Amino acid sequence: MSESEHLVKGLAASRWADTLDEHRAAQRDHILTVAFELLRERGMTTMSMSAVAARAGISRATLYHYFPDMDALLSAWIGREIGASVAELVRSARAIPDPLARIEELVSAQTTLFASSDHRLSVDHLESEAGSPAVRREVAAQMAPLRELLADTLRQADTDGLLRAELEPTLAADLLLGMLGAARRHIVAGNVAAPSAAATITGLVRRGWFGA
């Protein structure tokens, strides 16, 4: 086989591999979308791998090729949803130059998300999965960019002399995420409205951390 024939063959194999990867990614996304549709319609009690496979129009063997069990499927779904929302949030927040304004935007966006119907649905039906190590790992991985942005923002504020001297930026970022977690529980339970939760957190940050 000539060198040109080898090159053509190699290019064809590369295109086929790319096409296969695209197909697998699209199939995986389709399965996750179907799983959420079933969750919305039926709740966790009737969720099963068989039901997901039937709705997706694939065999159970094909479904198991992508996800070995329901825990893996739900973890992937949670990761996809959190990853998409965090990516958009981080992208828009980075465009805000003022550190305090950036934090206030992040807090407002997160509390608004907690009040959304899709988030409430995921909490209602996946709360039983909260103790799953796979879910915890997935949530932590997808939230990492938000944590990093908060820490970078607080370091910027510290460098600019805006942050109180006793605050350590990385620890403060984790504390802020902790406050958001507490707000999430109250918002989902219906105890506090999202704007009120955001105002409480940003008020503490503004007066306690920035001294504004």
pLDDT band for position 127 (50/70/90)?
Answer: low
d(CA 66, CA 11): 27
Report the mean per-residue pLDDT for the chain: 84
pLDDT given for residue 11 in this prediction = 53
In this prediction, residues 183-205 reach a mean pLDDT of 94
Same CATH fold, 69-212 and 1-68? yes
pLDDT given for residue 85 in this prediction = 87
* Cα separation values, 198 from 171, 182, 183, 211, Å: 20, 11, 8, 18
In this prediction, residues 98-112 reach a mean pLDDT of 95
Q: Which CATH number fits domain 1-68: 1.10.287.610, 1.10.357.10, 3.40.950.10, 3.30.70.1150?
A: 1.10.357.10
More confident residue, 87 or 129: 87
What's the number of CA atoms in the CB half-sphere (13 Å) around residue 94? 12
Architecture of domain 69-212: Orthogonal Bundle (1.10)
Checking if the pLDDT of 66 tops 90, the result is: yes
pLDDT given for residue 17 in this prediction = 61
Give the model confidence (pLDDT) of 12-39 as tens digits: 556 656 676 788 889 999 999 998 888 8
Choice among 5-9, 150-154, 185-189 with the minimum mean pLDDT = 5-9
More confident residue, 137 or 10: 137
Residue boundaries of the structural domains of the chain: 1-68, 69-212
Which residues fall within 8 angstroms of residue 77, CB to CB, at 6 or more apart? 32, 35, 36
Model confidence, pTM:
0.75
